[in-house]
A and B are shown apart, each in its own frame.
Chain A
Amino acid sequence: MAIGPIERTAKDIVLTVQEYSLFAYRAVMNLFRPPRYWTDFLIQCNIIGVGSAAIVLLSGFFTGGVLALQSAATLSEFGATAVTGRFVSTTMIRELGPVLTGIMVAGRNASSMASELGSMVVTEQIDAMRALGVDPMRKLVTPRLFACISMLFFLTILADFFGIVGGGFVTVFMNHQNGTQYLSMAWEHIHLPDIVQGLVKPLFSGFIIASLGCFYGMRTTGGTEGVGRSTIDAVVFSSVIIIFADFLLTQVLLTFFPPI
């Protein structure tokens, strides 16, 4: 039985997980020791936060709209179209806002981090930085990590808001329902546990996106082809792990904050 390739693959996976854990640990701990590169942090906040605002806003708006369309059709069978607002707001805030924002930002920023750092690795710019006495982990990775965590928090709020607006737009202009009723239902049924659930998740998603984007970028080998491979790995793994982490977090958060 050909056990060799299986053993090798298993070892590679364990080694990758180990390297990633050490990488993420170093990136986090760098925040607590100088030097700290605040300018780079602000630049990354601009790239990740401002740069991703448009796609997050649009995807939030249309997701809210789709939710209103789909739910109104089903709810009308039970004569409950009045609760469309509640359905849209709760779904956006608890689940779709954080997850969709995470996946959209992963597609845009995990890929950009992996390709940017990967290109720097293959052109020896990372080695040049180390040779000039600057730690690339502190200069490049830690600012991206904390900028991504902070910005994803705000981007999720943006996605939630525009999701509810999108749902309202469809409710009023396409389903011809009462807008005030939609908004009051949306507002009255949002509770603190929903908000906590919705805003804890992006902190984890932000960490996953930046740490995986930078990790795959920094371990790039094999020239420009390697950069492409790193970029794909960063986007694929961060998207899948965001959804997996969302599943685990939902389980945990539902224990602490059961639905009202």
Chain B
Amino acid sequence: MQNPAPAAAEPDQPAPPAPLNPIVEFRHVSIAFDGPPVLQDVSFTVSPNETRILLGPAGVGKSVLLKLINGLLHPDSGSILLFGQEITTMKEENLFPLRTRTGMVFQEGALFDSLTVRDNVAYQLIQEQVPDDEIDRRVHQALTFVELDSTFHFFPVSLSGGMKRRVAIARALIHQPELILYDSPTGGLDPITSTTIIELVMKERDFFRIPSLLVTHRLQDAFTLCSHHFDPALGHMVPLPKGQTDPNTTFLMLEEGRLIFDGSIRELVRSQNPFVKEFLE
């Protein structure tokens, strides 16, 4: 949380060269639960500094894919590499140190309802027995980032849906993760609150430059992330010059468990895949 605010992403158009060591790598991953496969032969990577937006209609396996990334679920076949380590066959106890390097924002926030906002955000720090003063300072910093510092002593039950998601983002960011996973952070929210959440995601992307994977079925959120950048001077997002998009924000699309698209926004809008075309329309 102490990183200085870097300049906003340069809107040069060609996609950056793929780095050698991806943060996440899926190789022919499949998984099923007592029925037809939820994911089939899915392969993709998330590179450093990259924000990947996973699109697809509800029930297509997006959340499952996200949970596979940090080992909350295990695939039936294929392999998954997180920070270069094969996690497919890794024991649960060995996964915990890896998970502390990732931040995850769940669909409904998944805040611990018996703990205050302070204890929710500081959960990892409390487990690591960080001194209370240090915890309070870092929680205030994280809550200020999501503009919810006034909720420090509140319980989750007294927060609105949007506020819960923002607290969940603060909880995901406080440990300075090397990867952030967003599971439909705007799902079920009104358009204004959704925009606030997307602005926070953008702020995280342009401020901390942490690689992330964001699951959504809302095209508007995806295109906003691609066509805007966060201006630290103004304190809000601004559109990129006309015709320019964020080069580090790229797309994946799932259809019935299969990955049918992997590429930039330009490739997405020009795709001839009938499902992609239908989805965009």
Contact = CB atoms under 8 A, between A and B. Distances in A.
Contacts of A133: 96-97, 99-100, 124, 127
Contacts of B70: 131
Contacts of A134: 96, 123-124, 127
Most buried by B among A35, A120, A124: A124
Contacts of A125: 110-113
A260 interface: no
Nearest to A130: B72
Given A123-B110, A125-B112, A125-B113, A131 B104 contact: yes
Given A120-B112, A132-B171, 16 more contacts: A123-B110, A123-B113, A124-B106, A124-B107, A128-B112, A129-B112, A129-B123, A130-B72, A130-B96, A130-B99, A131-B72, A131-B104, A133-B99, A133-B127, A134-B96, A135-B93
A129 B111 CA distance: 9
A233 interface: no
B67 interface: yes
A41 to B, nearest CB: 15
Interface in B30-83: 67, 70, 72
A123 B106 CA distance: 10
A115 to B, nearest CB: 13
B96 A124 contact: no
Interface residues of B, number: 22
B108 interface: yes
A123 B67 CA distance: 15
A134 B112 CA distance: 13
B178 to A, nearest CB: 13
7 residue pairs, one from A and one from B, having the closest CB atoms: A133-B100, A128-B110, A124-B110, A131-B104, A133-B99, A133-B96, A124-B106
Contacts of A130: 72, 96, 99
B60 to A, nearest CB: 19
B104 A128 contact: yes
Contacts of B67: 127
Interface in B97-138: 97, 99-100, 102, 104, 106-108, 110-113, 123-124, 127
A131 B124 CA distance: 10
Contacts of A131: 70, 72, 99, 102, 104, 106
A63 B15 CA distance: 78
Contacts of B110: 123-125, 127-128
B190 interface: no
